[in-house]
Homo-oligomer: A and B are copies of this chain.
Amino acid sequence: MTQRILPVALVQHACSSSRDDNLQHSISGIRQAAKQGAQLILLQELHSSLYFCQTENTHHFDLAEPVPGPTTNLLGELAKELQVVIVASLFEKRAAGLYHNTAVVLERDGSLAGRYRKMHIPDDPGYYEKFYFTPGDLGFQPIPTSVGKLGVLICWDQWFPEAARLMALAGADLLLYPTAIGWDAQDNDAEQLRQREAWQTIQRAHAVANGIPVLSCNRVGVETAPDSDSEIHFWGSSFVTGPQGEIHALAPADKDVVLMADIDLQRSEMVRRIWPYLRDRRIDAYGELNLRYRDQKGDPYRDLDDTGNES
């Protein structure tokens, strides 16, 4: 088999309250990536704004825009000029009172190749996304492009093996995760390290389980909510893995960076030949994955006394 190398880039940067500044950061990163030869460029989640979900505030809905719309037009033109495929992220206004956390793919002819609406929506202190985003209704459909079928997912999706698997089963060549995740300063160093390691580990595992590369792009910087004491230290650490979960490139935790990596798309097939998980899935026994929980009848625990006898 021949190699088929795809040069990719991830644009990791801090954001401010200025949409223009943020977009200029993304655009200059895209230009730099294209200059270095990238054919596929991934931006971080909600790259044109602060991560506004730290609080629930109806004014933030003003940040939303239609798809297609100003941002997809702008990035579409850029994709065409630079002859690259761009995966961007935006706050989609579908109707009044109906908004999504959406990733868009701009083809190198400038067209909108497709969109993915975030399916799993988080809600925990500092990440009040359920207030802003209606869960996606487009399912898990990879987006066909000139550089391959892109399994685009978004942030919280990255914790769900089901999402990665469904993309792989639909033929995704790559998984891509625009992300906004960081530390709560109240957590100690050990907890912070565990969290970032868990975040990296589970995404590397999606590569392993499905025999395809993973690209994950996170923001950096400290963002403080103006109307609460919430503060997130975004941990950057954007990365690219191969189909065994091996790290090809890893960004720092605190710097703006354009992270480049070369992906060998043929290698995924070689890895799948010797680790053929798709061959051996027990689809006859997976039915209960559709359940919220497999509730058991009665007390599931055996109650033994100190001498080991049933009590």
The chain A residues found within 8 Å of chain B, CB to CB, are: 80, 83, 107-110, 113, 119-122, 124, 135, 139-140, 142, 144-146, 148-149, 156, 159-163, 165-166, 169-171, 194-195, 197-198, 201-202, 204-206, 208-209, 244-246, 274-278, 280-283, 285-294, 296, 300-304, 307-310
The residues of B that contact A245 with a CB separation of less than 8 Å are 194, 197-198, 201-202
Q: A302-B113, A308-B83 are in contact. Are A283 and B274 (CB under 8 A)?
A: no
User: Across the two chains, which residue of chain B brings its CB closest to A199?
Assistant: B208
Report how far A244 CA is from B190 CA in the complex, Å.
12
Which of these, B110, B121, B145, B296, contacts A171 with CB under 8 Å? B296
Cβ of A135: which chain B residues have Cβ within 8 Å of it? 282
A289 in contact with B165 given A121-B280, A294-B170 (CB within 8 Å): yes
**Interfacial chain B residues near A294, Cβ < 8 Å:** 166, 169-171
Say which residue of B195, B293, B310 sits within 8 Å of A278 (CB atoms): B293
A246 to B170 Cα, complex, angstroms: 32
Residue of B whose beta carbon sits closest to that of A124: B274
Report the separation of the CA atoms of residues A159 and B302 in the bound assembly, to the nearest whole angstrom. 30
- Residue of B whose beta carbon sits closest to that of A275: B159
**In whole angstroms, what is the CA distance A57 to B108 when docked?**
56
Which 6 residue pairs spanning A and B have beta carbons closest together? A205-B205, A161-B161, A146-B304, A170-B294, A109-B308, A108-B308
Bound state CA distance, A280 and B163, in angstroms?
Answer: 12
Q: Which of B110, B286, B293 contacts A289 (CB 8 A)?
A: B286
Nearest-neighbor residue (CB-CB) of A210 within chain B: B161
| C-alpha gap A209/B202 in the complex (Å) | 7
Task: Name A285's contact: one of B139, B149, B293, B304 (CB within 8 Å).
Answer: B139
Also in contact, A166 and B286, with CB within 8 A (given A198-B245, A209-B161): yes
For residue A195, give the distance in angstroms from its CB to the closest CB of chain B.
7
Additional pairs, 8, CB under 8 Å, beyond known A120-B280, A124-B276: A107-B308, A161-B161, A166-B289, A169-B293, A171-B296, A194-B246, A195-B244, A286-B290
For the complex, what is the distance from the CA of A121 to the CA of B302, rounded to whole Å? Answer: 31
CB of A281 within 8 A of CB of B275, answer no
Q: Are A291 and B169 in contact (CB under 8 A)?
A: yes
CA distance A239 to B140 in the complex (A): 34
Determine whether the beta carbon of B283 is less than 8 Å from that of A244. no
Query: What are 30 A-B contacts with C-beta separation under 8 Å?
Result: A80-B308, A83-B308, A108-B304, A109-B304, A109-B308, A113-B302, A120-B280, A120-B281, A120-B282, A121-B280, A142-B300, A144-B300, A144-B302, A146-B302, A146-B303, A149-B300, A159-B275, A160-B280, A160-B282, A161-B165, A162-B286, A165-B289, A169-B289, A169-B291, A169-B294, A198-B208, A204-B205, A278-B292, A283-B289, A283-B291
